[in-house]
Structures are given as structure tokens and as C-alpha cells.
Amino acid sequence: MENMTPKIKDIYKQVISRNPGEVEFHQAVAEVLESLGQVIEKYPEYADHKIIERICEPERQIIFRVPWADDKGNIHINRGFRVEFNSALGPYKGGLRFHESVYLGIIKFLGFEQIFKNALTGLPIGGGKGGSDFNPKGRSDDEIMRFCQSFMTELYRHIGEYTDVPAGDIGVGGREVGYMFGQYKRITNRYEAGVLTGKGLSWGGSLVRTEATGYGAVYFVNEMLKTRNDSLAGKTCSVSGSGNVAIYTTEKINQLGGKVVTLSDSNGYIYDEDGIDLELVKNLKEIERRRIKDYCQYRKNAVYKQGGNIWEIPCEVAMPSATQNELNLADAEILVKNGLIAVGEGANMPTTPDGARFFLNNNVLFGPGKAANAGGVATSALEMQQNASRDSWTFEYTEERLQDIMKNIHNSCYEQAEEFGCPGNYITGANIAGFRKVADAMISLGLI
Ligand code: NDP
């Protein structure tokens, strides 16, 4: 809060009192508001139109019951969420998270970040997010299907290709999107491909969507390194997580000549000094759905550390790609001491605010999630474009589009940071660039 102007501090206090207990949401709002003092001074119309107050209040929040039966016939009740945060730039767009930690505060933090991220892509998409406190770990395919069908049986009435277009996030990948799309189609009697993204390739999905978040984050880091006449080639990199984002971050780093030496899950991390064998990881995680520790059964030089701190492994580039607040100030200090030069956030808000400040103060290039991981949603928007024109693009063409988008996002963050007197601060740059696009649209659309 110390970096907020008095006027913005008042708005932030209101946000806290109107949304009690939602600490992740407060954190996400604080990070954006800290960047906006100078913007409000330079463009007073944003204050006149109460844009910040309006942007912090979701347009609509939906909470619903999700009943389902497990394989033994036991009945379970979960809670479903969809927060439709802002549709000034296009239909609400953002993923669904299935994880036991999900509650309204998590969905609102993710939805809030999504507004600015989606604006940064330059594509016509608003911001939203959803999910459930359902824990998919250890559940059979049939149980996952029944849960997804029950979830969609309520969600279907709130979404649509021109209204709200969900996708995946933690715990939601191609399998889950398939079951949800099937149920949507069945209930509505419409083959409305553009209602969900992250679909399978034979039924409306886009090439590169699976790879997009990880690939995009690596492109973003490479663009940051270019500003210092450097690149990923030859760099030792640490990636956390072992899901969709972590896997394709690793793949692109390898392609650009870097070496990834770690991956993790919520139980521990693996360290392979020879470089991660990605085909092995894909087989374990994507096909067999096993835990990351099993990697060490096949790679004798690799070690697994149960409950260990992944950030103790020395690296030049760190790409936190698991979950929020997984990298704190103490971790940042260790990383910098060990020679870190760049961070690219594959996950949403993985670095705590004091950790991020420490990186900036120590001249580390820092790519915040809302810019660095925007490649996923950008490619989802490309999937929507292909669905709308009933077309499908080649891998090469789609990846080229993704690369261009990431370059543009990098450049607009870089330029806004310069314009507002904090060169090289991509956090401020991303917040201002995203905010201004949404704010200008909101003013044009009148008081709605
Ligand atoms: P996945 O479900 O595919 O993978 C998540 C990975 O993170 C798993 O390895 C999981 O381990 C680990 N993880 C999750 N929660 C925790 C935790 N509390 N502590 C430690 N590890 C944890 O999700 P994604 O790869 O899709 O998402 C990862 C991050 O990237 C999230 O922050 C997400 O919001 C963000 N993101 C994803 C996008 C996408 O396109 N998929 C787009 C933009 C951002 P375990 O199996 O033990 O739970």
C-alpha cells in the first residue's frame, strides 16, 4: 500500500472492506493499483468516470452447487464459480480451475488479472475466470466426466460464444474441456465451437493452444533478454510445476538452446543436472498421469527432493509455472545470490509482492504473469477466430501469430514503463498498458 497515492489508497481500502477475507484478490488489486497513481494524474478523466472503482467490481458473479456421484455411488457436493469481471473489450474470457483450494477470492484474483492480460493481447476479449473446489487427483475418468457434466449443467446457461468463453487452467485440460463441451452441446443442441477453447484438434481446437502459454512465456523472456543483448542460449533454467505450462515452457527453452534442470509438483521437486528429459516427462504426466517423483526411476542422475525448496537450485532464468505465491522474498534472495538474471512468470501471481520488488531492486529482468503468460489466452482467441470462420490454421502460422503477439505485448509493457518514468519495470508497464486499453473502452461505452 505504501506505493499508492492517497486517492488510490482510499479506493483500495474500499475494495478490502467490500470483499472481506479474499486475500489473493486484495493482493492482485494492490499490485495493479500501485501502478496507477501517475496515470490518474496524467489522465484525470479516468478518475472522473470512476474507472478504477468500476473495474474492481465484477460485472457478475455466479456461485452454484455441483452434485456428483463417485464410482462407488457416494454423493459429493462441490461449489462452482464463474466471475464475469469485465466485458468492455469483448466476451468474458478466462479459464476454469479445478483445485481443492478454490474459493471466491482465488477466482476473483484470477479474473481481475485476466482483464488486463486479455487487454494486453490486443485481441477482442474481456476478462473472466471460474472453477470449482473439486479435487481431481486420484479420480477415475468416469468420475471426472460426471463432475464435468454436472458442472456444465449449471454453467451452460451463463456462457456462449458472444457472452463468455471459458478454457482450462489448473486441473482442467483437454480431457475436461471435452467432457464439458459434450455436455454443453447436448443441453443446447448446438455445435457452438466458439463457446470453449482448448478443444481437441479433431473437434474445433487450434494447433499450438496446448503449447501456447509455455511457449509464449519463453518468447517473452527472450524479448526481455534481447534488451540487454542477451538470449536464452546456454542459460541454465529452473521451471516449477509439471503441468501444461511447465512442460511447454521447458520444451521452448530447449528449442532456444537453454537447459532446464528442475520441475516440481505440490509434493516436491526433481533436479536433473543433465537437463530434463522432456519426452519422459510428457509420457509420465500427459499419458500416464503420474507424479513427478517417478521421473527419477528412469534417470539415474536425477534427484527428487520431497517437500524441498526448488528455488535453492542455482539458475540464471527462473520460470515459476505452478501456482500463486510459490516464490517469496527469501527465495528471491537465494536466486539473486546464485546469479539469477531473469524471471518469467508462467503461473498467475507466483511471486509475492516483496519478492518481485527484490528482483526489480536487484536489476533482475522480471516478466509478470499478466504479460508473460498471456500467450495462452491469446491463442485461445485465435482458436475463436478459426471457429468463427470454420477454418484451421497450420502449426507454423499459428505459432508465428503467437510470437508476434508476445513481441507486441513485450514492447507495449516496455514503452509504457518508459513513458511513466520507470524504464525496465515490466510490472508497471503491463498494468498501465492493460488498464488504459480497458479504461478507454469503458469510457466510450458509457456508464454501464
Ligand atoms: P496444471 O494443472 O496443468 O499443472 C499445475 C502444476 O502446478 C502441477 O504440477 C501441480 O502439481 C502444480 N501445483 C498446483 N498447485 C500447486 C501448489 N499449491 N503447490 C505446488 N505446486 C502446485 O495447470 P497449468 O500448467 O495449466 O497452470 C499452471 C499455472 O499457470 C497456474 O497458475 C495457471 O493459472 C497459470 N496459467 C495457465 C494457463 C494455461 O493455458 N493453462 C494460462 C495462463 C496461466 P500437483 O499435481 O501436485 O497439484
**Does the model's pTM come out above 0.85?**
yes
Cα of 326 from ligand 1 centre, angstroms: 11
342: confidence class by pLDDT, cuts 50, 70, 90: very high
- To the question of domain 60-191 being in CATH 3.40.50.300, the answer is no
Closest CA to ligand 1's atom 44:
347
DSSP state of 18: H
- Upper half-sphere CA count for residue 4 (Cβ side, 13 Å): 15
**pLDDT reported for residue 2:** 72
**Ligand 1, pocket-test mutation among 114, 169, 370, 383, most atoms within 8 A of CB:** 169
| Side chain identity at residue 427, one-letter code | I
- Statement: residue 226 has pLDDT above 80: yes
Q: Is the CB of 344 under 6 A from ligand 1?
A: no
Strand-by-strand arrangement of the 342-344 sheet: 303-306, 268-271, 259-264, 236-239, 317-319, 342-344, 365-367
Contacts of 232 (CB under 8 A, 6+ apart): 218, 221, 222, 225, 253, 256, 257, 258, 317
Rounded to the nearest 10 degrees, the angle between the axes of helix 174-188 and helix 141-155 is 50
Closest CA to ligand 1's atom 27:
170
State pLDDT tens for residues 250-262.
999 999 999 999 9
State pLDDT tens for residues 44-57.
999 999 999 999 99
**Ligand 1 atom index nearest CA of 267:** 47
DSSP state of 405: H
Closest CA to ligand 1's atom 17:
266
Total residue length of the chain: 448
Which class is domain 212-372? Answer: alpha beta
Cα of 143 from ligand 1 centre, angstroms: 21
Q: Is the CB of 170 under 6 A from ligand 1?
A: yes
At 161, list the grid cell: 460464444
Q: Is the CB of 322 under 6 A from ligand 1?
A: yes
All structural domains of the chain with their residue ranges: 6-55, 60-191, 212-372
Cα of 249 from ligand 1 centre, angstroms: 12
Closest CA to ligand 1's atom 47:
266
Contacts of 248 (CB under 8 A, 6+ apart): 210, 211, 212, 213, 214, 215
Backbone angles phi, psi at 165, to 5 degrees: -125, 95
Kindly list the distances between the CA atom of residue 317 and the CA atoms of 281, 321, 352, 423, in Å, as whole numbers in the listed order: 20, 13, 17, 20
Cα of 132 from ligand 1 centre, angstroms: 14
**Ligand 1 atom index nearest CA of 322:** 7
> Is residue 91 a contact partner of residue 162, using CB atoms and an 8 Å limit?
yes
Rounded to the nearest 10 degrees, the angle between the axes of helix 395-419 and helix 375-388 is 130
3-state DSSP helix/strand/coil percent for the chain, to nearest 5? 50, 15, 35
Q: Is the CB of 392 under 6 A from ligand 1?
A: no
DSSP string covering 190-215: ---GGG-SS--GGGT--TTHHHHHHH
Q: For residues 305 and 363, what is the distance between their CA atoms, to the nearest angstrom? A: 30
Domains 60-191 and 212-372 share a fold: yes
At 28, list the grid cell: 492482485
State pLDDT tens for residues 197-224.
999 999 999 999 999 999 999 999 999 9
State pLDDT tens for residues 346-392.
999 999 999 999 999 999 999 999 999 999 999 999 999 999 999 99
Q: Is the CB of 383 under 6 A from ligand 1?
A: no
Residue numbers annotated as active site:
129
> Is residue 125 a contact partner of residue 134, using CB atoms and an 8 Å limit?
no
CB atoms within 10 A of CB 230: 16
The torsion angle over the Cα atoms of residues 274, 276, 280 and 283, rounded to 10 degrees, is 180
Closest CA to ligand 1's atom 15:
323
Average pLDDT, the chain: 97
Cα of 10 from ligand 1 centre, angstroms: 34
**pLDDT reported for residue 293:** 98
